[in-house]
Chain A
Amino acid sequence: MLSLFRTKKSLLKKKKYLDAERLLRHARNSEAFKVQPTLFEEKKVASEMVKSGEIDYEAVKKKALDFIFDKNWKIRNIGVKLFGEIRCKDGVQSLCNMLSDRKEIGFIRRNSAKALGMIGLNTQNAIEALSESVNDNYWEIRTEAIKSLGLLAGKKSEIEAILLTRLLGKNFHNELSGNEKTRINFREKNFEVREAIAENMGRVGVSKNAVLALKYLLKDDIWMVRAKALRSLSLMMGNDNEEFRKITSGVDLTCESFVPVFPLKEVFSEIVVNNRVKK
């Protein structure tokens, strides 16, 4: 009975979607794309892939371009993901446009931000689009934009200011320069975004303000934010730094989580899996 509702058009659409999904899965599993974005050389990878009989890089690129202009948003979404997976530098402009287009579907914009980080091409357009998206009203876009900025921008005071504004508001200077408070009301209420800020502040932060913000993030309610802030602080200040030791001496180390372990699984992997590796 259900097959009555399956029109030719819907079946074709489904076929295209399934093809796109298969291609994405293939790209994800391909070893060629599992290198650092900075070490990725498009032409070299493409020729190696042709030699080894793997997917044709140029054909995949062409298909990804076709997907991102599809009417169906789910296919467009896969196209965006595909651009990121194959590290296609030609797709950066299209991704920037999609990210900046406020009418575009939330998932597509989120994945565009993520793909820009994966491609790793530090262009003015990409940085602008990502910086703008840090203040988007959808939290997943904010999170991915911050993560990608952390990967692309490097240490820059402008990016640091953008992250601090997101975290504390426009008057972040006043918030940070006043008497040291025991607690700060963050402007950013979403813990995932705060976690991304804490993680990337260490990569982009250059001033004392970044250290102060991380110090406040060490008092966050969510332990994962505290953990990321701790890592960033150590990245910025160095583990042997006297001030770093002073700041971290009072960190709340309790948290609401622990990792469950089946001791037998550990024994098994120690004996059986390692043996297999040796063989």
Chain B
Amino acid sequence: MLYFLYEHFYSNDSVFSFLRLFRYLTFRIIYAMLTAFLISIILGRPVIRWLKEKNIKDTSREELAVIDASKKEGTPTMGGILIVFSILIPAVLWCNLSNRFIQIIITTTLWFSVVGYYDDLLKIKYKNKDGLSIPKKLFCQFVFSFILGVLLISDYSPFWPTTTNATLLNIPFYKYPITDLNWFYIPFVIFVVIATSNAVNFVDGLDGLAIGPIILSTLVFGVFSYVLGNMNLSQYFQFNYIKGTGELSVFCAAVIGAGIGFLWYNAYPAQLFMGDMGSMTLGGIIAVIAIMVKQEVLIVLAGMIFFIEGLTVFLQMISINYIGRRLFFMAPLHHTFQKRGIAEPKVVIRFWIVALIFALIALSTLKIR
């Protein structure tokens, strides 16, 4: 919105000359982050109060009895509302809304937040323990990712008319695309979106556990989107220049700011949980940004925690249902560490450290290729 002010009212010799500031990505990145942080800090308390009034509280789950999840019973959940508002308001304020990438990512945020909201609503208001059933949840994610996949390879693709081909597959530490996925690109996009959004959902099990790695992986993709959207930098790092992705770094900054603000309330012992609305939305955002900056495989490094946790859940599920024995003490992996007698904050901090190390490795792939 502020970018429009620059576009329409800026003139070098008028009183509106200061509007040139809104042209600069770096300025908008910093202020998008600050705005998001302030919004989530300011809205945090009223949102918590509102959630308490509406009785939107966490209910303890039987399967977590071994680690005494009942202690957290009564903590307001569905903090995703706070996250979504804290992302969307700065995004609308500071991003160039005519940019296709921004339009797609805002749609992503809205889509996943609606699905997550409905899921949370079923769990809390209608006391449906599992919320939205797995097939229904997957179907909602599938529909979105299918449309996204088709859009990215169509004439309406945000990549058009640059030479960057959407269907090329890049991998970290390698300079050139390894293959052209062609029509397989659509199932690939579906897989990336569904896997990432669900993996983030699994990680959201301890106070502050999910939001830390989310901030770090968004930071990585924010840097990538800035570099890839800048002609000089992308040439210097020998990446394909993707026109317009720079705007995504402003959006990433808003996500980081909102994440830090949310962490203010979600830090141990949490006053607020993000719920499925938050985790699913943030997972969807990370996946779609990775797809749009053509670094889909980099999610494995930048979001190593999500990858590991998702993998353990998947393997444990296969093992329990088809082999009839456990592979891990508990899944997702963070519960295994709790079962080993490690305190929750310690598990969380250790996971953050691992996430930080892998985020640095992911950033190093800018140069090591």
Chain A positions within 8 Å of B, measured between CB atoms, are 2, 73, 77, 105-108, 110, 138, 140, 191-192, 222-224, 255-258, 260-262
Check A107–B340 contact: CB distance below 8 A: no
- CB-defined contacts of A2 to chain B, threshold 8 Å: 135
Residue pairs across A and B with CB atoms within 8 Å: the count is 42
- CB-defined contacts of A222 to chain B, threshold 8 Å: 340-341
Please judge, given known A-B contacts A192-B329, A260-B269, A262-B71, whether A255 and B324 are in contact too, CB under 8 Å: no
Interface string of B313-324 (1 = CB under 8 A from A): 000000010011
Q: How many of chain B's residues touch chain A, expressed as a range?
A: 10 to 19
Please judge, given known A-B contacts A260-B269, A262-B71, whether A224 and B341 are in contact too, CB under 8 Å: yes
Q: Which of A73, A77, A105, A106 has the largest number of chain B CB atoms within 10 A?
A: A106
State the majority secondary structure of interface residues on A: helix
Check A257–B326 contact: CB distance below 8 A: no
Within 8 Å by CB of B325, from A106, A256, A257, A262, lies A106
B14 shortest CB reach to chain A, Å: 58
State the majority secondary structure of interface residues on B: loop
Please judge, given known A-B contacts A73-B324, A140-B325, A192-B329, whether A256 and B269 are in contact too, CB under 8 Å: no
24 A-B interface contacts by CB (under 8 A): A2-B135, A73-B324, A105-B323, A105-B324, A105-B325, A106-B323, A106-B324, A106-B325, A107-B320, A107-B324, A107-B325, A140-B326, A222-B340, A223-B341, A224-B341, A255-B341, A257-B341, A257-B342, A258-B343, A260-B268, A260-B344, A261-B71, A262-B71, A262-B269
B61 at interface, CB cutoff 8 A: no
Name the interface residues of B321-357: CB closer than 8 Å to any CB of A. 323-326, 329, 340-344, 346
B336 shortest CB reach to chain A, Å: 11
In the assembly, what is the distance between CA of A108 and CA of B340, in Å?
Answer: 24
- Nearest first, the 8 A-B pairs at minimum CB distance are A106-B325, A105-B324, A256-B342, A257-B343, A224-B341, A107-B324, A257-B341, A106-B324
Within 8 Å by CB of A138, from B320, B325, B340, B341, lies B325
Across the two chains, which residue of chain A brings its CB closest to B71?
A260
